[in-house]
Amino acid sequence: MNGAESLLRTLAAHGVDVCFANPGTSEMHLVQAIDTVDETRGVLCLFEGVCTGAADGYARMNGGPATTLLHLGAGLANGVANLHNCRRADSPLINVVGDHAIHHVAYDAPLTSDIESVAKPVSAWIRTSRTSEGLALDAVDAVRTALAPNPMPRGGIATLIVPVDCAWGEGRMRAKDPGFDASVAKPTVDDAAVASIAPRIDSDTLLMIDGNGLTEAGVRAAGRIAAATGCRLYTPTFPARVEAGPDLPLVERLPYFPEHVMQVFASVRRLVLAGSQAPVSFFAYQNLPSDLVPEHCETIRLAHRHEDVEAALTGIADELDAPAGQVAGGERPDAPEGALSAGNIAQLVAARAPEHSIMATDSGGGGAAHPVLQRSLRHSWLNLTGGSIGDGGPIAVGAAVACPDRQVFALLGDGGAMYTNQYLWTAAREGLNIVSIIFSNRQYNILEVEYRRLGINEIGRDAASLFDLSNPDIDWVSLAAAQGVPGARASTCGEFDAALGRALASDGPYLIEAVV
- List pLDDT tens digits, range 28-52: 999 999 999 999 999 999 999 999 9
Picking from 284, 319, 354, the residue at the C-terminal end of a domain is 319
Q: pLDDT digit string (tens) for 457-479?
A: 888 999 889 999 999 999 999 99
Q: Per the structure, how many domains does the chain have?
A: 3
Q: pLDDT digit string (tens) for 322-350?
A: 999 999 999 999 999 999 999 999 999 99
Asked if residue 42 lies in contact with residue 19, where contact means CB atoms within 8 angstroms, the answer is yes
Q: For residue 446, what pLDDT is reported?
A: 83
pLDDT of residue 451 exceeding 90, the answer is no
Picking from 183, 207, 223, the residue at the C-terminal end of a domain is 183
Residues 37 and 175 in one domain: yes
Instruction: Look at the chain and count its residues.
Output: 516
Domain assignment present for 281:
yes
Residues 198 and 172 in one domain: no
In the chain, the N- to C-terminal Cα span, in Å, equals: 56
Domain assignment present for 330:
no
- In angstroms, rounded to a whole number, what is the distance separating the alpha carbons of residues 401 and 91? 16
Residues 384 and 466 in one domain: yes
Q: How confident is the model at residue 396 (pLDDT cuts 50, 70, 90)?
A: very high
Domain containing 507 — which CATH number? 3.40.50.970
pLDDT of residue 284 exceeding 90, the answer is yes
Q: For residue 516, what pLDDT is reported?
A: 93
Q: For residue 311, what pLDDT is reported?
A: 99
Surface-to-core class of residue 263, CB atoms within 10 Å of its CB (0-12 exposed, 13-18 middle, 19+ buried): exposed
Q: How confident is the model at residue 177 (pLDDT cuts 50, 70, 90)?
A: very high
Domain assignment present for 335:
no
Residues 307 and 405 in one domain: no
Residues 284 and 364 in one domain: no
Beta bridge partners of 97: 70, 161
Q: For residue 363, what pLDDT is reported?
A: 81
Domain assignment present for 458:
yes
Q: For residue 485, what pLDDT is reported?
A: 99
Q: For residue 454, what pLDDT is reported?
A: 83
Residues 366 and 383 in one domain: yes
pTM: 0.97
Q: Name which of 245, 249, 150, 263 is nearest 209 in CA terms.
A: 249
Residues 310 and 382 in one domain: no
Residues 400 and 452 in one domain: yes
Residues 172 and 124 in one domain: yes
Q: For residue 455, what pLDDT is reported?
A: 82
Residues 351 and 274 in one domain: no
Q: Name which of 109, 411, 88 is nearest 277 in CA terms.
A: 88
Q: For residue 152, what pLDDT is reported?
A: 78
Q: pLDDT digit string (tens) for 294-321?
A: 999 999 999 999 999 999 999 999 999 9
pLDDT of residue 452 exceeding 90, the answer is no
Which range marks the domain in which residue 31 is found? 3-183
Asked if residue 39 lies in contact with residue 64, where contact means CB atoms within 8 angstroms, the answer is no
Domain assignment present for 334:
no
- In angstroms, rounded to a whole number, what is the distance separating the alpha carbons of residues 45 and 233? 39
Q: For residue 124, what pLDDT is reported?
A: 96
Q: Name which of 156, 159, 140 is nearest 148 in CA terms.
A: 156
Residue ranges with strand state E in 56-170: 67-71, 92-99, 125-128, 156-163
Residues 305 and 445 in one domain: no
Pairing, β 434-440 against β 408-413: parallel
Domain assignment present for 305:
yes
Task: Write the CA distances from 189 to 304, 315, 340, 420, 456, integer angstroms.
Answer: 9, 9, 48, 40, 49
Mean pLDDT, residues 124-142: 98
Residues 27 and 168 in one domain: yes
Domain assignment present for 331:
no
Q: Is 15 helix (H, G, I), strand (E, B) or coil?
A: coil
Q: Kindly state the DSSP code that residue 324 receives in the 8-state scheme.
A: P
Mean pLDDT, residues 132-156: 93
Domain assignment present for 452:
yes
pLDDT of residue 153 exceeding 80, the answer is no
Mean pLDDT, residues 397-414: 98
Q: Whole-number mean pLDDT of the chain?
A: 97
Q: For residue 457, what pLDDT is reported?
A: 81
Phi, psi of 82 (to 5 degrees): -80, -20
- In angstroms, rounded to a whole number, what is the distance separating the alpha carbons of residues 240 and 306? 13
Which of 147-151, 238-242, 320-324 is predicted with the least confidence, judged by mean pLDDT? 147-151
CA angle 191, 197, 198 (to 5 degrees): 90
Mean pLDDT, residues 64-87: 98
Task: Write the CA distances from 354 to 336, 377, 398, integer angstroms.
Answer: 18, 8, 19
Picking from 183, 207, 224, the residue at the C-terminal end of a domain is 183
Domain containing 280 — which CATH number? 3.40.50.1220
